[in-house]
Amino acid sequence: MPQTQAPARTDWSLVLLVLGAGIVAGCQVGKVPPSLPSLRAELHLSLFAAGWVISLIGLLAACGGAVAGATADWLGHRRVVLLGLSVTAVASVLGSLAQGPGWLLFTRVLEGIGYIAISVAGPVLILQVTRPRDERLALSVWAGYMPAGTSLMLLVSPLFLQPVGWRGLWVVNGFLVAGVALLLAWKIPHPIRNTGGKPTRFFPELKATFARPGPLVLALYFGAFALQFMAVVGFLPTLLIEEVGLDKGVAAALAGVAVLLNVPGNLVGGWLLHRGVRRTLSLGLASLVMGLCVLGIYSPFLPGALRYVLCLVFTGVGGVIPASLYAAAPLHAPSRSALGTTNGIMMQGGNLGSMLGPPAMAAVVAGVGGWHAAPWLLVSAAGVSLALAVWLDRIEAAAAAAAFRGAGTATQ
């Protein structure tokens, strides 16, 4: 597939612009939880339907990430990001017109399609404006798009819900996404590289990506991490209310801060990789720290303030993991032209873990009868992550050895 030469310098303004596209996509996830009381009252949503309003985007990503990635590799990543932004903007505005659950769920499906398109194509678009030595750092910046967008909307939504209601919040989101789309189309008027492929390459590249162990290990690792992260963060307000005795508003705000702290963790992870720290070492240590933190978070013998500080350490250190995984995707993709597919497979694993984490946590806590049982699930997931880090290290060592042997043969 024809490609131009890698850029001589990194255009950080375009990196941040693509990051902005990811953040507004994450906002569509974060806008729902604060709006649920109004949505349920006005549209007569059952608790079951409300659950689907929250989880539809994650479900779509868990089911269709790989296909969406392969589609982005075929059509071109700039085109797919702009298409995703456009669909999301229109869907958010249309959602504000809902008079019942059906229309709202339909527009959430459209928002999910837009979210997936942006998520799988965004990191590839970033690589197209990044010089090779900055790729790990740039991808770590991208890794913060979801916690940044979600926590941003969790924190600012109350400012809009009082004066304009949930419908106004949906319209504001639609115009925000449309503004980012117009800015991206203006700043990147043409494809940076000829990344669009032939339709005949769609299924072969999908098959080639699934045939490699690396993308599957990345997906499993992302899933194990997301299971831990969403299980802790999803029930953090409940834990702070029941175990620490905080007010609902204070507990929700503290949970938003904990999510937001994942973003500097992403940047630290990218900086470590940029400085030459071994990726699998960063992954292994982060998983170990997360596993140790949950022992204290759910300990009834520690004071509430210390338990919350451990939550902050948990989410902050956990940010190293997405940054490391996104940086690993170019190495494990069968080719640069299949990078979107690799990102899609990894996203499927992460969203599957996000969906399974909260219900698994609820089942363990309810089954045993207390929060003290939570570490059984979370430490087990951390142990799986450590095992996957070892597996990934072996895959990368074998690939490096093969590349060395190939270079040696070529010089003979």
Q: What is the pLDDT at residue 199?
A: 47
- Contact assessment for residue 348 and residue 226, using Cβ atoms and an 8 Å cutoff: no
Identity of the amino acid at 314:
F
Kindly calculate the radius of gyration of the chain based on its CA atoms and give it in whole angstroms: 21
> HSE (CB half, 13 Å, CA atoms) of 163?
4
**Domains of the chain by residue range:** 8-197, 203-400
Which tokens is 292 given?
């140790």
Q: What is the pLDDT at residue 1?
A: 35
pTM of the model: 0.80
User: Distance between CA 191 and CA 180 in Å, rounded?
Assistant: 17
- Contact assessment for residue 314 and residue 296, using Cβ atoms and an 8 Å cutoff: no
Q: What is the pLDDT at residue 194?
A: 46
Q: What is the pLDDT at residue 402?
A: 63
Q: What is the pLDDT at residue 163?
A: 85
Identify the helix (H) or strand (E) that includes residue 236.
Answer: helix 236-239
Q: What is the pLDDT at residue 171?
A: 94
Q: What is the pLDDT at residue 237?
A: 79
Neighbours of 68 (CB within 10 A): 28
Show the 3-state SS of 96-138: CCCCCHHHHHHHHHHHHHHHHHHHHHHHHHHHCCCCHHHHHHH
Q: Do domains 8-197 and 203-400 have the same CATH topology?
A: yes
Show the 3-state SS of 280-293: HHHHHHHHHHHHHH
Q: What is the pLDDT at residue 3?
A: 45
- Contact assessment for residue 240 and residue 308, using Cβ atoms and an 8 Å cutoff: yes
Report residues of the chain scoring pLDDT below 70.
Answer: 1-6, 47-48, 51, 189-202, 248, 400, 402-412
At the second CATH level, the architecture of 8-197 is Up-down Bundle (1.20)
Q: What is the pLDDT at residue 197?
A: 47
Q: What is the pLDDT at residue 11?
A: 84
CATH number belonging to domain 203-400: 1.20.1250.20
| Residue reference for tokens 């991206």 | 184
Q: What is the pLDDT at residue 327?
A: 85
